[in-house]
Amino acid sequence: MTDHRIVGSPSVTVDGLLAVAIELAYQAGAVTLSHFGKVHSADAKADGSPVTVADREAEALLREGIRARFPDHGILGEEFGEEAGTAPIRWVLDPIDGTRSFMRGVPIYAVLIGVEVEGKPVVGVAHLPALAETVAAGQGIGCRWIGGSGGASRSARVSDTTELGDALTLTTDPQSVLASPIAGGWKELCARVGVVRGWGDAYGHVLVATGRAEIMVDPVLSPWDAAALIPILSEAGGRFTDLGGEESIHGGSGVSTNGHLHHRVLGLLRGA
């Protein structure tokens, strides 16, 4: 077992945090599956996005599990906000990423867990319970791809595509890209890549991390959408940044690539 101890919380390791994050993601995923295909109503949040009983139950379970194990850690979750901690460690939670898919019985939704140490995401788990597929990464440990079409657990690796013309590009909501400041750059990118699809939300980033797509663009992201993705993409050999090129959960946007194409993609999106 590797030993990546955390300064300020020496009894905690990246490996230990990752193991707990995977365990809790599976538990929260089971909660969402108990509602999958049965939830047809939702409350509208202030930003107009839907929240269901499953989102709330799954986040409550995650919070209980974290508090029981690490009472001094902070927690930021999409549905229940911020709980300050005393340790330099914060868990960043999106209990269901892709609620609109979830509500329609479409299986491409994810439980997202990111863990920050001193503000930097070092652990990321994206668990897609209805696809029985998970990617899980820890800084310096690598990224594992568990389940999915190949079955077993193996190393997650981005593709080695270097030509835009060979790339598959994804987004969540074409309408929101076309209404955003990168509309012109997006059209230019779409004209140059091989294939464009809309397999979006966190699933799109997971497809890049596992080498099945090269580029995923989302002009509207919150910290809980991004926290898990930074370690996942970087440990899989790719990159996740905001549109400004920062590896940050606070940029309000997210672009994942296989790394080779990142600079060119950001340039095109910015109209450079």
Main-chain dihedrals φ then ψ at residue 225, nearest 5 degrees: -80, -30
For residue 59, state whether it binds Ca ion (rule: CB under 5 A).
Answer: no
Q: CA-based diameter of the chain, in Å? A: 51
* Binds 218: which of Ca ion, ligand IPD, none (CB < 5-8 Å by kind): ligand IPD
For residue 94, state whether it binds ligand IPD (rule: CB under 6 A).
Answer: yes
C-alpha 51/C-alpha 99 separation (Å) is 7
For residue 97, state whether it binds Ca ion (rule: CB under 5 A).
Answer: yes
Among the residue ranges 58-66, 95-103, 184-192, 232-240, the one whose residues contact ligand IPD (CB under 6 A): 95-103
Q: Which letter does DSSP use for residue 165 in this model?
A: G
C-alpha 14/C-alpha 123 separation (Å) is 7
Binds ligand IPD (CB under 6 A): choice among 60, 181, 220, 251? 220
Among the residue ranges 92-100, 147-155, 228-236, 256-264, the one whose residues contact ligand IPD (CB under 6 A): 92-100
Closest CA to 138 of 128, 125, 157: 125
C-alpha 160/C-alpha 261 separation (Å) is 10
The residue (of 14 and 265) whose beta carbon lies closer to ligand IPD is 265
Among the residue ranges 4-12, 96-104, 121-129, 189-197, the one whose residues contact ligand IPD (CB under 6 A): 96-104
For residue 225, state whether it binds ligand IPD (rule: CB under 6 A).
Answer: yes
Closest CA to 78 of 103, 58, 100: 58
Q: How far is the CB of 172 from ligand IPD (least distance, A)?
A: 4
Q: How far is the CB of 94 from ligand IPD (least distance, A)?
A: 5
Q: Residue 116 has which token pair?
A: 């920050």
For residue 199, state whether it binds ligand IPD (rule: CB under 6 A).
Answer: no
Those residues whose C-beta lies under 8 Å from the C-beta of residue 249, and which sit 6 or more positions away, are: 92, 114, 121, 223, 226, 227, 230
Binds ligand IPD (CB under 6 A): choice among 124, 200, 237, 238? 200
Binding positions for ligand IPD, 166-185, rule CB under 6 A: 172
Q: Which letter does DSSP use for residue 260 in this model?
A: T
For residue 201, state whether it binds ligand IPD (rule: CB under 6 A).
Answer: yes
Q: How far is the CB of 220 from ligand IPD (least distance, A)?
A: 4
The residue (of 133 and 201) whose beta carbon lies closer to ligand IPD is 201
Binding positions for Ca ion, 209-248, rule CB under 5 A: 225
Among the residue ranges 34-42, 64-72, 83-91, 94-102, the one whose residues contact ligand IPD (CB under 6 A): 94-102
Q: How far is the CB of 225 from Ca ion (least distance, A)?
A: 4
Is residue 242 within 8 A of residue 222, CB to CB? The reply is no
Main-chain dihedrals φ then ψ at residue 64, nearest 5 degrees: -60, -45
CB atoms near residue 81 (< 10 Å): 8
C-alpha 110/C-alpha 126 separation (Å) is 6
Query: Measuring CA to CA, how many Å separate 116 from each of 69, 87, 208?
Result: 16, 11, 22
The residue (of 14 and 208) whose beta carbon lies closer to Ca ion is 208
**Binding positions for ligand IPD, rule: CB under 6 A:** 49, 94, 97-99, 172, 200-201, 218, 220-221, 225
